[in-house]
């Protein structure tokens, strides 16, 4: 079972990316499950994913990356026992520090994980402001990522996209970096590149 962690600040395009990746995994014959974290009482992302017939495990009342890490491990173990997915995609809250999620994984007792990949989605329209206001959180997400994805290239100017790429490269020069207009979907080659 592969674990794919998709992070990024609120509104960066995480849910759109996750839906595209889940479709791509399904089309390639892989069983995918999605764990979303909703801080509020009503899971809008959950409702959307259920309408698209995707399996969703939703955790409420906090952040799976900090206060609900034990519940995340329990959920992973239940998914493994009841559904045996090939791929589990986890979407933490956009305001969370995902490093705490990784710290909980040693307590997981299901089938061994075949691999863990961390994708951070960056919104070029808001990245300069987020780096200024929430620098430690945003920088940590970029630095820890295995893959960086600059989204909203259809909405941002070429200068904003270039600035986001430069900022991401400065913080994490080793991670592969892709740019995409998520609203128009992922092409098959990029989906294959992003999926573990």
- Give the SS3 label for residue 152: coil
Is the pLDDT at 136 greater than 70, yes or no?
yes
pLDDT tens digits, 75-107: 888 888 888 889 988 887 666 667 777 888 888
Comparing 49 with 120, the larger pLDDT belongs to 120
What pLDDT does residue 92 have?
79
* Tokens 């491990």 found at: 73
CATH of the domain at 166: 3.40.50.300
Distance CA 49, CA 57 (A): 10
- Compute the half-sphere exposure of residue 62: CA atoms within 13 Å on the CB side of its CA: 11
Residue 179 in domain: yes
Query: According to the per-residue pLDDT averaged within each range, which of 8-12, 42-46, 149-153 is highest?
Result: 149-153
Residue 196 domain flag: no
Tens digits of per-residue pLDDT, 20-66? 898 888 888 888 888 877 655 445 566 666 666 666 666 544 444 33
Q: Write out the residue range of the structural domain in which residue 47 sits.
A: 2-191
User: From CA 44, how far away is CA 87, in angstroms rounded?
Assistant: 22
Q: Give the model's confidence band at 10: pLDDT under 50 very low, under 70 low, under 90 confident, else very high.
A: confident
Residue 18 has pLDDT above 50, yes or no: yes
Check residues 71 and 169 and name the one with the higher pLDDT. 169
3-state secondary structure of 122: strand
Is the pLDDT score of 148 beyond 50?
A: yes
Whether 64 maps to a domain, the answer reads: yes
CA distance readout (Å), 101 to 60, 95, 165: 15, 13, 26
Number of domains in the chain: 1
């Amino acid at each position: 079972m592969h674990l794919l962690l998709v992070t990024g600040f609120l509104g960066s395009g995480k849910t759109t990316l996750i839906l595209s990746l889940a479709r791509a995994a399904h089309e390639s014959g892989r069983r995918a499950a999605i764990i979303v974290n909703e801080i509020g009482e009503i899971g809008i992302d959950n409702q959307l994913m259920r309408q698209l017939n995707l399996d969703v495990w939703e955790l409420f009342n906090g952040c799976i990356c900090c206060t609900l890490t034990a519940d995340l491990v329990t959920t992973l173990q239940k998914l493994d026992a009841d559904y045996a997915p090939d791929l589990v995609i986890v979407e933490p809250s956009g305001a969370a520090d995902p490093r705490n999620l990784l710290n909980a994984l040693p307590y997981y007792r299901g089938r061994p994980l075949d691999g863990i990949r961390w994708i951070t989605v960056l919104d070029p329209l808001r990245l300069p402001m987020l780096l200024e206001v929430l620098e430690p959180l945003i920088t940590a997400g970029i630095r820890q990522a295995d893959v960086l994805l600059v989204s909203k290239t259809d909405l941002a100017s070429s200068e904003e996209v270039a600035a986001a790429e430069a900022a991401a490269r400065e913080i994490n020069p080793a991670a592969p970096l892709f740019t995409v207009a998520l609203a128009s979907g992922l092409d098959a080659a990029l989906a294959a590149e992003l999926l573990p």
